[in-house]
Every structure is written in structure tokens, then in C-alpha cells.
Amino acid sequence: MTIRVALYARYSTDLQNAASIEDQIRLCRERALREGWQIVGTYEDAGLSGSNMILRPGLQRLLRDGRDRRFDLVLSEALDRISRNQADIATIYQNLSFAGVTILTLADGQVNEMHIGLKGTMNALFLKDLAAKTHRGLRGRVEKGKSGGGNAFGYTVLRHMGENGEIRRGDREINAEEAAIVQRIFTAYAEGMSPGRIADQLNREGIPGPRAGKWDKSTIHGNPKRGTGILNNEIYIGRLVWNRQQFVKDPQTGKRQPRLNPEASWIITEVPELRLIDQTVWEDVKARQQGRKIEQTDKEAWERRKPRFLLTGLVKCGCCGGGFSTIAKDRFGCSNSRNKGTSVCSNRTGISRQELEGRILIALSDRLMDPDLVKVFAEEYIAERNRLAARHTDDRAVKEKELQKVIKEQDALVNALLSGLPPDRIKAKMEQLEIRQKQLERDVAATPARAATVRIHPKMADTYHDRIRGLITGLSDPDRESEAREAIRGLIDRIVATPVATSGKRSQLELTLHGDLAGILVMSLDLDLMSGHQKASQLREVDESVEFLVAGAGFEPATFRL
């Protein structure tokens, strides 16, 4: 039987270049051709670190196809191309082994548990040693006044030939055009203009931000404690501060999280030739920041004490798609419009929390799950599920019958071989039958013996209304508030707030509620009367039914305007 092989290659920006991918694939392809293996696909991750498996799309696609049994063998140049992280390589090996897929590398041969332990440890130590050497090298550059990685708005990083003929990196020079914007921001803030208004003006004038995008107020005011943001970067007064914070990778998400270092470990270098801001202006900015910090003490204390709002994070702007956040103590508005200005989003219409929550709760309790509509829906749903169940049963029966026929034909070929028929005459036919047998076995396993059916009936509307009204009542009960809030949020996918013109001078928000169909169905089922096994079965059937309703039968989740 021909072995199906998948090729995997990766290069990281710190050590290699794009040509490395082609080299790795070429070497692996040559090995596969020599062995007579069938190459069924290539998987690549270009410019991505081997210390993280979550953020590598090529590897994730390889694992998904491996679970689907699309190949028998993964071939790579070396184990560190697949991963340098000891825990990740163990996870990859376990997942592929469970699917019956072997890992083979040109450098080490077939990978087994010994490789995972020894090579995984060596690769992990390599990464740790590389990080320490990189940090040491960057520190040396910073102490010489050079860039330690990245760049600040207002400067250009130079790359030029030194007197000794070597390429010099990390030198900076002032970018006159960007420097003028930095000086304008400092002056405007010192004179009393808010970061949000400064960002709005820059966006209106079409001035690109530090990353060529739109300006945001957080880009300007940043975090004074961490030294982030235009107003807190000391390079603008000729002081290069490095190692203020470090980044630690979250093992669950694979993303880096900032951690503030002790001030004693900061590396500070004077670079007076890079100063953009006069010391007096800098001190005026710091004084205003400190004054605002004192003025906002009461507000920040309230922010820490405030309860979590019922609809926080669920409301989206109908104009720009951004989120709605608190723009006052008890009022919601578009975050993009407030932070980036009306040139990014023109939606300046706000809504009080009481009005927002009131309109949504009324919709959930009165307008959703109308008994007459539920009755019609239940009849159509059950009829369609019965039709699909019959079709699935027929399909399964046909495949099972063909599978039995294939097995009988294989038995007949084996008997013919035992009776003396030359093997060459039956080899090709036997291979075809084996391939067809595996395909039929997968199809039969993927086809349920019967289509799962959630117990949808007209009485579901009554159950839903009793439960939702009980939850709304629970919002005012301190002992039940948290549970009721989470249950209600589970019924909502999102709320889109769009400004509409009215007869008066001011517009108002039209709310479009997009219900979470799975949450609504669970709320409508009487799960309290079921055993643990029955409840788990029903929840699985809910997931299947939602997929059927939306993709199969064309039903849409509950969506209506308020």
C-alpha cells in the first residue's frame, strides 16, 4: 500500500530567509520520491517562531488534516522545524500518533518518545540561551545610544556602511515631518486640549499615525507608569529608557503579556542629539497629567466599585462595527467615535444604560418565542428533521451494504491467492478494495444511525417565557443577580446600535438584537427534569440542531429591530 506523506517546512525571521522554505521542501520531496511515497500536500509557516504552535496556521492545518487521516506520514527537515517548544512538540506528537500518523525527519529519522524528551529539551534550552544572548546584545546597543528594537514616532532608523566597512544598524536620526507632529501634540496637550480631541484633529487632517493607521487617544496619552504613548516617551527629551518591561508568553493563548520590571533594572542612556521637546513643555505636560490623576481619583474609585453592566461588550456600532463603551457614568456610546474622532465614525448618538437594558429585556420577554410562530416553526422543523433522518438512514444502509460486498470480495481474493493464483494478478485489485473499504468505514462512522432531534414543540414558548421572566426578576435579587445576568447574556449574540433621524433635532438609536439560537433553545427545554446523561445528550442535540437550522434548513437566528 502506498504511503501518503505530508511535507512540513518553516523558517523564522531571526535565523533564516524565505528561500529556506523552498530548500526544506525540495529536500523532503527528494526523499519522498526516492522512497516511492505519495506526496498529498505541503504545509508551510513563513517567518514564524518555532516556540509557538497556536499562532502558526500551517501547523494547525497539518494537525487538522492529520486528525482527518488525510496522510500517513509527516516529513520535515528536522524536529526543530516542527517546534522548538518542549510542551508543544509533545502535544503535536501525541495528536498525530493518536491519528495513526508517523513523524519522520531528515536529520533524526523516525521520531519517537526519546526524541521528544531529548530533542525537545535541547530546543527549549536553545531558545532560552538565544533570548539571553539577544537581550545582552540589545543592551550593548542601547548603552551606545542605538535602537534596541522598534522605533519611536519622530525618528528614522538608519542602516549604513561604517568606516570599517561593516554595516551599522540601530543609529537614529530625527524625522523632521514626524517630529513636528510630536511637538504639536505636546504643545496642544500642555495648553489644555484632550488626547481625544488631538487624535480627532490629526485624523481629520489625514495625518497618518505611528503605524500608518488612524490616531487613537490611547496612542497619545498611553500609560505613564509603563512609559507608553507619545506623551510618556522620554526619548523626546533625549533620554533612552530600555528594559522598562518584559514580555512573558501566556502558555494558553501563545500571546505575549507585558510585565513591568523593577526600576533598578532599567537601562537609561542620555541621547541629547535626539531631543524634540523643550524641558519646560515636558514638565507642563507631566504637571497636567498629575493634576488630572488627582482630579479623577473619585471617578477611578467609582470605576473600581461599579458593578458589571448587563450588556457590557455585547453592543456594536451600526456605522463602524466598533464596540460601545461607557462614555459617562451611566451612558453608552461608540468607542471609535469618542477615541478616534468623527472622521473615523460619525456615530455620536448615545443611550442611557437604563433605556438600553429596558428595551432589550422587553424584547427578550415579550417579542421572542411568540407561541403562534413557535407552533408553525415546530411543525416545519419536525417534518424537515424526519425527512433528513430517512435520507440519512437510506444513505447509511447503502454504504453498509457496499461495505459488506467489498469485504466479501477481499475474502474471495484471499481464497484465490491460497488456491495458487499468482499474486501479481490480484495485487492491484486488493489495493483498490482496501482503499474503498477504509473510505466506506469512514463514511459509515460519520453518518449517524438516526438524526438527533431536539424535542421542539409549541410548549417550548411557555417554558421559555416562564424562565426569562424569572431571570429578569432575579436581576434585582442580590443572591441571584450574577447567575441571572449570565443566563440572559447567554441568549444574546450581539446588539447593533444604529442612529436614525427623528422628527426632532437629535437622532436616536435603533437597536437590532441578534439572539443566540443555541442559548434560546436551551432556555426553552425543561432540562431540570432530566438526568445528567439525558441533559448531556440534549445539549449535544441542541448543537446539531442549530447547525441544521442555520445551514441545512435555512432558518436564521432570532433577529429583530427595537
Residue-wise pLDDT tens digits, 464-506: 677 777 878 877 777 677 778 878 887 788 889 999 887 666 7
**For residue 310, which of 475, 522, 515, 469 has the smallest C-alpha distance?**
475
Q: Which three cell numbers stand for residue 552?
A: 441545512
Q: Rounded to two decimals, what is the model's pTM?
A: 0.42
Average pLDDT over residues 415-425: 69
pLDDT on residue 152:
81
Domains in the chain and their CATH numbers?
A: 4-130 (3.40.50.1390), 155-299 (3.90.1750), 307-375+451-562 (no CATH), 376-446 (no CATH)
Average pLDDT over residues 23-27: 90
Q: Quick check: helix, strand or coil at residue 3?
A: coil
Q: List alpha helices for 419-480, DSSP H.
A: 423-446, 460-474
pLDDT on residue 306:
42
| pLDDT exceeds cutoff 50 at 163 | yes
pLDDT on residue 452:
46
pLDDT on residue 130:
59
Lowest-pLDDT range, 228-237, 459-468, 471-480, 538-547?
538-547
Burial of 378 (0-12, 13-18, 19+ CB in 10 A): middle
Pairing assessment for the beta strands 492-500 and 315-317 based on DSSP bridges: parallel
Tell me the helix, strand and coil percentages in the chain, rounded to 5: 50, 15, 30
Q: How many CA atoms lie within 13 A of 420 on its CB side?
A: 0
| pLDDT exceeds cutoff 80 at 279 | yes
**For residue 541, which of 450, 422, 405 has the smallest C-alpha distance?**
450
CA distances in angstroms from 404 to 145, 401, 428, 429, 501, listed in the order given: 77, 5, 20, 16, 68
Instruction: Measure the CA–CA gap between 190 and 33, rounded to whole angstroms.
Output: 70
Average pLDDT over residues 26-43: 93
Q: Which long-range contacts (CB under 8 A, 24 or more apart) does 435-443 make?
A: 436/406, 437/403, 437/406, 437/407, 437/410, 440/399, 440/402, 440/403, 440/406, 441/403, 442/69, 443/399
pLDDT on residue 302:
41
CB 52 within 8 A of CB 85: yes
Residue 323 gets which letter from DSSP?
B
Residue 471 gets which letter from DSSP?
H
Instruction: Measure the CA–CA gap between 158 and 173, rounded to whole angstroms.
Output: 7
Instruction: Measure the CA–CA gap between 304 and 298, rounded to whole angstroms.
Output: 10
Strand ranges (E), 197-310: 239-242, 245-249, 256-260, 267-270
Instruction: Measure the CA–CA gap between 483 and 485, rounded to whole angstroms.
Output: 6
Lowest-pLDDT range, 18-27, 256-265, 454-463, 533-542?
533-542
Q: How many CA atoms lie within 13 A of 553 on its CB side?
A: 20
CB 225 within 8 A of CB 26: no
pLDDT on residue 475:
79
pLDDT on residue 557:
45
pLDDT on residue 376:
63
pLDDT in tens, 328-359: 778 899 988 888 888 889 898 999 888 888 88
Q: Which three cell numbers stand for residue 268?
A: 537609561
Average pLDDT over residues 429-447: 78
Average pLDDT over residues 179-206: 88
Lowest-pLDDT range, 21-35, 273-287, 432-446?
432-446
**For residue 456, which of 518, 388, 525 has the smallest C-alpha distance?**
525
Confidence of residue 101 (pLDDT cuts 50, 70, 90): very high
Instruction: Measure the CA–CA gap between 469 and 487, rounded to whole angstroms.
Output: 12
Average pLDDT over residues 241-266: 68
Average pLDDT over residues 70-98: 86
Confidence of residue 550 (pLDDT cuts 50, 70, 90): very low
Average pLDDT over residues 416-423: 69
pLDDT on residue 453:
47
CB 358 within 8 A of CB 236: no
Confidence of residue 515 (pLDDT cuts 50, 70, 90): confident
Mean pLDDT of the chain: 75
Average pLDDT over residues 92-110: 89
| pLDDT exceeds cutoff 60 at 151 | yes
Instruction: Measure the CA–CA gap between 523 and 538, rounded to whole angstroms.
Output: 12
Confidence of residue 539 (pLDDT cuts 50, 70, 90): low
Confidence of residue 157 (pLDDT cuts 50, 70, 90): confident
pLDDT on residue 32:
93
Angle at 395 between CA 394 and CA 399, to 5 degrees: 115
Residues 363/366/369/370 CA torsion (nearest 10 deg): -130
